[in-house]
Structure formats: C-alpha cells, structure tokens
Amino acid sequence: MNMSFQCLLSQGNDHRWTATFAPSLQLISMTMSRSFQFDKRENWAAKLKEVHSFAWKQWTENLSHKTGYQLSADKIQSAGVVSEELLDELAPEVANIAPKTQYQKR
C-alpha cells in the first residue's frame, strides 16, 4: 500500500494542522491547512476535524479505487470524525505549543 497522505501538527509555533498528499498523485488540491487557537480546545479540535475531513474525502474521491491505495474496511475512517480519545491524547501536545510570535507593526 502506498502512503497517500499525512495529517500533521506543524512544528514550531505555527499553530496549524496540515494534510498533504504526495506530489506524485497529481491531485488538483494537494494540501489543506488550518491555523488554530492552541488554548481553546473547541477551536483546535474543529480545525483538526476540517483537515481530517479534507484528507479522507480526497482519498475517497480520488484514490480509494486505485490499485495500491485501497484500504481494508477496518482502516478506513469517516471524514471529519476524530474520536474524543484521540483529542484527549493530542491535548497535552497542543497545550505545549509555544505562543505565536507577535511582531511589532512598523
């Protein structure tokens, strides 16, 4: 099976969830990212669900039928559905992100 996409928490203090598909897949829309407020769980969880939804919809519409990208039924996720257990696991990681750098306007 090919690795078709990743959902990641950006490194540093970017406060961003990103879903990226491999360039070799030649999809029209290859990346989606959403910035979030790390100190508000309902905000970062909603943004994660948006990115998760994008990634799984892209896979369903563009890759699920192609050889090498099919998944067994137990590995397929519902677009935009992120369990509370996973959100609980991610909460400490998100809470430990450094605050955004604030630059003075010139």
Q: What is the pLDDT of residues 43-90, one digit of tens each?
A: 999 999 999 999 999 888 888 888 888 888 998 999 999 999 999 999
Decide: helix, strand or coil at residue 92: helix
How many whole angstroms separate alpha carbon 69 and alpha carbon 62? Answer: 10
In percent, how much of the chain has pLDDT > 70?
Answer: 92
How many whole angstroms separate alpha carbon 69 and alpha carbon 39? Answer: 36
The set of residues, in sequence order, having a beta carbon less than 8 Å from that of 81 and lying 6+ positions away, is 49, 52
Edge to edge, the sheet with strand 31-35 lists: 5-9, 16-21, 31-35
The number of helix segments (H) and strand segments (E) in the chain equals 2, 3
